[in-house]
Chains A and B, each alone.
Chain A
Amino acid sequence: MAIFQHAYQGFHGQISSTLRQPWVIFRYALADVFSSKLFTAFFVLCFIPPLVMMCMIYMNYNLEMLSLLNLPLDKLITVDANFFAHWMQIPQMWLVFTLVMFVGPALISPDISNNALPLYLSRPINKTNYVFGKLLVLLVLGSLITWIPAWLLILFHANLGDQPWLLNNLHIPLASVVSSLIWIICLSMLSLAVSAWVKWKALARLFFFGFVWLSSALGAAIENIYGGWKGSTVSFIDSLDVMVSGLYGVTSSSSSMPSTASYLFFITVTVLATVLLARKIRAFEVNL
């Protein structure tokens, strides 16, 4: 069907596998995300903390620079699991939260409010592929600002320092990946669920923000009233700290809750969000 012919003809070319469809959704959604200059600026800023930390690690091993800047050696930070957990991982996790809050609610709600789901689901793409394609955006962007720079820093440190350091601390890169993925997936599913149920993007962002912070406020209130760590079981802030500390093998500064409880919290939130999402991702609403 050449343009000049203006006559209808079918398509006789190659049709690709259905496995490629989530990738198509990812590609288009990613392009939409980066069409916002504000987001692009924010995303670039997310790399500044890792860069600062890289400089700190570099300075740790550069005596000439330390003497030049007249910095006392005893006040240098120790690059260990605690450094990666509390200086690198947790701050980057909250940047992920901001990123997900910005991007997540805009991924599904426009499709629902504009009735685009029947267009997706009438094609060789199912609900799972659709959600996976959207999730992939958050997963990739989140990874780029959490465990990928963390790994680069770890490798950088291992390269500058003693070679056995990495072998003796293999749990650190592992903890970085696992904690990042748990956090990103949990927040992403929550934001997608909110996005599916709240059609207005701004309101969906507010809901997502409120859900995370109100749960933490509720946890703090429960702890103040009843004491112990029971309040931490509904708190995103405490659960994140406990999970990261547990995986890195350092002491949590916010709660005495066992790590298992924090995993349970994230799994529960993810499962609930998935159920809510599954109920909403359909071609048509059926009014009984």
Chain B
Amino acid sequence: MESDRLKQAENIDEVGSEVSSHEKNKHVAETNTDKVAFNPSASGNTDSVTEPAVFELQNLSVNFGRPILDKLTANVRGNCIGLLGPNGAGKTTLLNTLLGFNRPSSGSASIFGYDVSSQSDSVRHMVGYMPERDAFITGMTGIRFVRLMGELSGLSPSDALERAHEVFFYVGLGEARYRKIDTYSLGMKQLVKLAQAIVHGPKLLFLDEPTNGLDPPARTRMLQLIREIRDAGETKIIMASHLLKDVEECCDEALVLKQGKIAIYCNLEEERRSDRKFLLMHVRGDRDRFVSALRSLGCDVALTNRRRLKVILAQQIEIRDVYMAAEQLQVQIRSLDYKRDSLEDIFLRAMEDA
């Protein structure tokens, strides 16, 4: 963890930019694709940089009489990617396009390097999908339904049956697996939807509003399952949600959409890391010399306006050192605050900026 942070700091120094590291990882849609691509694990793991992107969008547009997605370009990597945006932003349309349900009007989209239009068979072998709305086959028992979905994904009947039992126990519905799905509660139906989505062990799991309609314990359980799947490391997850907290709890990347465009794309993992020593200061006096002094201490400084500074402290630096530097330079620190840059802040800023 420490070495990761140092590496981040080194990278920031190399770039020589005035923006802080977490800002560096927020990418506005209009930026070049190459710049958008980055390693989501954010721990200096260079292997994952060479992995194909989880999904890649090249000027992707989708029109249904009116533009729904407008020339999206992104190269997204990560273990769990959150798709955020207000209603009508295009989250579900993007999800459906990646699943091959919608045909792009122009541009292209690919999953793990496979084009979603021309190589849809390959894509569908790799994905699992948990839709937002209830989606079942009536009259079937839970186990038979999940087994059918397993067989449709290419598993042999015996493998599908075995996996169906396993995933039922995994999601916590083992005792209810011989009941008809029609008799399940809403929370159980959500879990069955998750079970059918993972029965074939997909490489990429699409979750569309997975906590919709769940009570707090069920929601906690669902998020825990999602985190476990993510941490198992065999499945990447794309999770569309309007609940920022859900995304914040599960995802390491967030792609925020607004009116069919990418408003922002950020690495939440790095956001979390940078939170602890993130200072927001109002200063009066010789600001430039103060900034130079802080940088000479190894801090990363961003100038947000004439008097406001964002400072990420270096490992060995304490707040006391900042005060001492200010005292030496006769700079007044009018306010100093630990500011937590939450996903909500990022989201709201993206909504204002875009």
Do A and B interact?
yes
* Residues of A that sit less than 8 Å from B by CB: 1-3, 6-18, 20-21, 24-25, 28, 32, 35, 110-111, 114-116, 118-126, 282-284, 286, 288
* B152 at interface by CB-CB < 8 Å: yes
Assess A16 versus B156: contact at CB under 8 Å? Given A118-B131, A123-B149: yes
Interface size class of chain B, counting residues whose CB lies under 8 Å from the partner chain = 35 or more
Counting from the closest, the 3 A-B pairs by CB-CB distance are A11-B201, A10-B201, A10-B234
- The reply to whether B154 and A18 form a contact with Cβ atoms under 8 Å apart is yes
- The reply to whether B235 and A10 form a contact with Cβ atoms under 8 Å apart is yes
Hey, what's the 0/1 contact readout for B134-156 against A, CB within 8 Å counting as 1? 11111100000000110111111
- The reply to whether B155 and A114 form a contact with Cβ atoms under 8 Å apart is no
Assess A119 versus B156: contact at CB under 8 Å? Given A15-B125, A111-B137, A124-B121: no
* Residues of B that sit less than 8 Å from A by CB: 64-65, 96, 99-102, 120-121, 124-125, 127-129, 131, 133-139, 148-149, 151-156, 159, 163, 165-167, 169-170, 174, 196, 198-203, 206, 225, 228-229, 232, 234-235
Tally the A-B contacts, defined by beta carbons under 8 Å: 125
Q: Contacting A6 at CB < 8 Å: which of B159, B170, B201?
A: B170
> Which residues of A lie under 8 Å from residue B174 when comparing CB positions?
3
Q: Smallest Cβ distance from A198 to chain B, in angstroms?
A: 16
CA distance A153 to B325 in the complex (A): 104
- The reply to whether B101 and A120 form a contact with Cβ atoms under 8 Å apart is no
Closest to A1 in B: B166
- The reply to whether B154 and A288 form a contact with Cβ atoms under 8 Å apart is no
> Which residues of A lie under 8 Å from residue B203 when comparing CB positions?
10
A contact face: mostly helix, strand, loop, or mixed: loop
Q: Contacting A122 at CB < 8 Å: which of B127, B136, B137, B170?
A: B127
- The reply to whether A124 and B153 form a contact with Cβ atoms under 8 Å apart is yes
Assess A283 versus B96: contact at CB under 8 Å? Given A6-B169, A10-B235, A110-B138: yes
Q: Contacting B228 at CB < 8 Å: which of A7, A122, A288?
A: A7
- The reply to whether B170 and A21 form a contact with Cβ atoms under 8 Å apart is no
Q: Contacting A114 at CB < 8 Å: which of B137, B154, B206, B228?
A: B137
Please list 17 pairs of residues, one from A and one from B, whose beta carbons are closer than 8 Å in the complex, sorted by A's number: A2-B166, A7-B232, A9-B234, A10-B235, A11-B201, A14-B159, A15-B125, A16-B155, A20-B154, A21-B152, A32-B139, A110-B139, A118-B131, A122-B101, A122-B206, A123-B152, A288-B65
Q: Contacting B151 at CB < 8 Å: which of A24, A110, A283, A286?
A: A24
- The reply to whether B165 and A114 form a contact with Cβ atoms under 8 Å apart is no
- The reply to whether B159 and A283 form a contact with Cβ atoms under 8 Å apart is no
> Which residues of A lie under 8 Å from residue B137 when comparing CB positions?
110-111, 114, 116
Assess A11 versus B163: contact at CB under 8 Å? Given A115-B133, A118-B135: yes
- The reply to whether A115 and B154 form a contact with Cβ atoms under 8 Å apart is no
> Which residues of A lie under 8 Å from residue B127 when comparing CB positions?
122
- The reply to whether B121 and A119 form a contact with Cβ atoms under 8 Å apart is no
CA distance A2 to B134 in the complex (A): 28
Q: Smallest Cβ distance from B119 to chain A, in angstroms?
A: 11
> Which residues of B lie under 8 Å from residue A283 when comparing CB positions?
96, 99, 101
Closest to B235 in A: A10
CA distance A81 to B137 in the complex (A): 45
